[in-house]
Structure 1
Amino acid sequence: MTKKRKSAVKYWIGKIHLWMGLISGLFVFFLGITGCILAFEKEIGDLTQRYRFVKIENKPRLLPSQLKNIADLKLPGKHGHSVSYEPGKAAKVLYYNADPEYYYIVYMDPYSGQVLKVKDMNRDFFRIITIGHYYLWLPPAIGQPVLATATLLFVLLLISGLVLWWPKNRASSNKRFTIKWNARWRRVNYDLHNVLGFYITWIVIFIGLTGLVMGFQWFSKSVYWVSSGGKKLNLFEESFSDTTRTLPVAAGAPIDRLWLKALNENPDHKGSIEVHIPDSPKAALELALNPDTETYWKADYRYYDQYTLKEIDVKHVFGRYSKASVADKIIRMNYDIHIGAIGGLPTKILAFIGSLIAASLPLTGFIIWWGRRNKTKGKKMKQRKSGRSGNLAEQAETVGARVHNTERKPGSDAPVSGTTSIKRQE
């Protein structure tokens, strides 16, 4: 490719970069700021909400049905969704429904059944920020596609920005890696956009791509298709119990039997155990065992007939971890990569810094564009002024020449035209 052609390609990439930035800038800023807030949601919650913790005691914990029955007294008429346990943490009974919409968590002492907190999650600060981050506080059918599209534009901005950042030669490459702090503020702003944008591209590109997996079905299906070698994505499908089978009353609540079964079969499990409460006679029991409570992708999801406790084999992504394929694990990891939890605190810090700088890029980019816009306007104004003054000078010179040339010579009736005299013929 010739130098002239390269310059033309870069020019048009710059134009595309500009317009994508102007269209998506406000949304990218919003996603970056809310992403920063959500990066340390768990850590901030643990520091400020001490009711989440209980002292480990050397006595048995209450059964799931016992905890649910106590929690039901606090939220009469609400449907219990799940009961979860975690060593050193309060047991949680979760109540959730889509229509009418409600979402509560009852925190309880798993040993005594004491209610520590009834929390309306729709009023929780981080829950509100999460809804904004996902849907812009609009109906999901509207807000989700808007933010997903903005995320797609942001990923394209990162790629086009990298092309524009790429130095022309080795001599100019040093300027691309450092910020010239002692320069004029416009140059500092340019470096903040250009240099910091380059460094965080390698972080936020993963945040952006994982956001697209959650935002667009076609993208998540494409990722799975590529990583699985051409298989179709089956994210989740509901399992069912055999309603022709029944249990005697003495057998106890299905969720209790499943919880005790999980404890007996996994005596060395140190993570969380969550039992989902069936919402209908045909619904299956769901069990989630997570060995690492800092992330979600390693969780073991199992499904059982609520009458026989026979495990139901599933063919979707969220089944037993031991049966998950590479493609399944990539989809499972998606959320943990997106929030930076995949590598613990270090990757959370990187995600926070990346989100913060990503939020600044629309601002620094807008300042660059505005400055160039005013500079271009100023040049045009100067050109117009100089053009006008030049025209006036030419006009004045022309008028002066005409006045001079129309002066009469002594004793002659004819005007002088240029250097030629026209004399009256006698």
Structure 2
Amino acid sequence: MVKAVLLFLHRWLGIISGLVVFVVSITGAIFVFEEELFRVFHPDIVYVTPGKTLRDINDLKAIAQNTIGADKNVNVVFIPGSSDRAYCFSAFERDAKSKSIWDKDEIAYYYQVFVDPYTGAVTGVVNKETEFFYATRRIHQNLMLRRDIGNMIVGTSTLIFLFILISGIVLWWPQRIAQWKQRFVVKWKARWKRVNYDLHSVVGFYVFLIAMLIATTGLVWSFDWWENGIYAMLGSSKKDAAFLTQRDTTYTATNQGITRAWKDALKRYEKGFERITLNFPTKKNNRVGAFVHYDGSSAWTDSDYIYYNGATGNVQQAILQDDKSTGMKWRNTNYYIHTGKLYGWPTQILAVIVSLVCASLPVTGVILWVGRKNKKQVPASPQPVSVKTKPRPRIASRQLT
């Protein structure tokens, strides 16, 4: 009885959420290698010839600003850890007044300007609104709908998918020992219906744990209550990250202060870092913020936050990896778990494979449903009708005398 109810829910919830799960899984598989593929397709934009000295960060920012115009404010620069890559200056702003159902109308502008840090030459300008990988990410996160609408649809479909995964394992679980062997193997030589069934159930079993991990980490961007719940499970609170929203307008930022902050961040991590995200001062906040991602010794994604006085360049606040709560360490790592980037290309490839399998599950499931729905009962073969016949009269033989 329990399995019958689970099968009913598994089937119909799968049909309801199947299209969203398919789209989100396919786009997720594409996005896993987004940075690597961007470098492959745009080497002339990303790579530069290393020089002896770097130009001042304010000069580089001014070049990027002049390239896209004064009406688009450059507010952050991504500094790569490799000396042969360009600095990436980003200008982004949302349209708070937009009431459109489409997420693209919520963005006032989003540009990235790649600048050679040695010569100051602009290597390329990317309008992120029309860039392939950014569009892929928007489809993945909110189906290109307004964030509150799209995130709700994607998040709800992901929650349903979690139930489908768990109920699928229950339905797959063999009841007898004799059934165990056949539940682990796809019978490729069987009829196509049997192969489709195995692709749905057997392959689904093998990706179960990784699929659960990808789905649960993805829900963080859809529901605040889910994120807060994980913080609580780890004995932490989202308030641990309150420093991210702190503002300071008690002074006026200067170019000299920004230069000192930039140089200090580079010197602190001169032994090696993967990327520094440097946030420039704004009208509402005169601090310079540096988020440094580096290859550390912990099992988490190692990163530090350094905040500078925008006028003097002195350090105001430093939140190092070892000082973070467990919840903060998880939150800084969640994206890398979700995309498989945590341990490099081996886990990225695994994430791609699992995502593609997740995309196939709604397809094979619908094929199963359609096949069973259209299955015609084969009529029983007619039984031969026995006809009773009268016995022939027996004729006694007469003996001639």
Q: Secondary structure at the match of 1:101?
A: strand
Q: What does residue 402 of structure 1 align with? A: none
Q: Secondary structure at the match of 1:253?
A: helix
Letter in 1 for 2:308: Y
Contact 1:221 1:233 in 2 (8 A): no
Q: What does residue 48 of structure 2 align with? A: 54
Distance 2:84 2:63 in 1: 20
Q: What does residue 323 of structure 2 align with? A: 323
Distance 1:324 1:234 in 2: 8
Q: 1:149 aligns with which of 139, 156, 163?
A: 156
Shift of residue 296, structure 1, vs aligned partner: 9.7
Distance 2:353 2:255 in 1: 51
Shift of residue 155, structure 1, vs aligned partner: 0.9
Q: What does residue 172 of structure 2 align with? A: 165
Distance 2:261 2:293 in 1: 16
Contact 2:273 2:292 in 1 (8 A): no
Shift of residue 253, structure 1, vs aligned partner: 3.2
Output the aligned Cα RMSD: 2.3
Distance 2:41 2:295 in 1: 22
Distance 1:278 1:93 in 2: 14
Distance 2:306 2:49 in 1: 29
Distance 1:306 1:195 in 2: 58
Q: 1:336 to 1:24 in 2, by over 3 A?
A: same
Q: What does residue 75 of structure 2 align with? A: 81
Deviations 1:152-206 (A, max 9, x none): 1111111100101101111000111001111111111101101000001121111
Distance 1:97 1:62 in 2: 27
Contact 2:256 2:312 in 1 (8 A): no
TM-score, structure 2 as length reference: 0.85
Shift of residue 273, structure 1, vs aligned partner: 2.7
Contact 2:151 2:221 in 1 (8 A): no
Distance 2:196 2:231 in 1: 40
Q: What does residue 347 of structure 2 align with? A: 347
Q: What does residue 181 of structure 2 align with? A: 174
Letter in 1 for 2:372: R
Contact 1:64 1:259 in 2 (8 A): yes
Q: 1:65 aligns with which of 48, 58, 66?
A: 58
Distance 2:284 2:241 in 1: 24
Q: 2:306 aligns with which of 277, 302, 307?
A: 302
Percent identity of paired positions between Structure 1 and Structure 2: 36
Q: 1:107 aligns with which of 96, 114, 134?
A: 114
Distance 2:379 2:218 in 1: 47
Number of aligned positions between the proteins: 363
Q: What does residue 264 of structure 2 align with? A: 261
Contact 1:225 1:233 in 2 (8 A): no
Q: Secondary structure at the match of 1:54?
A: coil
Shift of residue 371, structure 1, vs aligned partner: 1.3
Distance 1:219 1:198 in 2: 25
Q: Are positions 1:366 and 2:366 aligned together?
A: yes
- Structure 1 or 2, whichever has the larger Rg, is 1
Letter in 2 for 1:72: Q
Q: Are positions 1:95 and 2:91 aligned together?
A: yes
Letter in 1 for 2:87: A
Contact 1:286 1:303 in 2 (8 A): yes
Q: What does residue 219 of structure 2 align with? A: 212
Letter in 2 for 1:27: V
Q: What does residue 30 of structure 2 align with? A: 37
Q: 1:132 to 1:347 in 2, by over 3 A?
A: same
Deviations 1:250-280 (A, max 9, x none): x743221201222333432343333211111
Q: What does residue 356 of structure 1 align with? A: 356
Q: 1:311 aligns with which of 315, 319, 322?
A: 315
Q: Are positions 1:275 and 2:278 aligned together?
A: yes
Between stretches 138-147 and 270-279, larger displacement belongs to 270-279
Q: 1:214 to 1:234 in 2, by over 3 A?
A: farther
Q: 1:153 to 1:138 in 2, by over 3 A?
A: same
The answer for unaligned runs of 5 or more in structure 2 is 96-106, 383-401
Q: 1:9 aligns with which of 2, 9, 13?
A: 2
Contact 1:224 1:233 in 2 (8 A): no
Q: What does residue 98 of structure 2 align with? A: none
Contact 2:258 2:311 in 1 (8 A): no
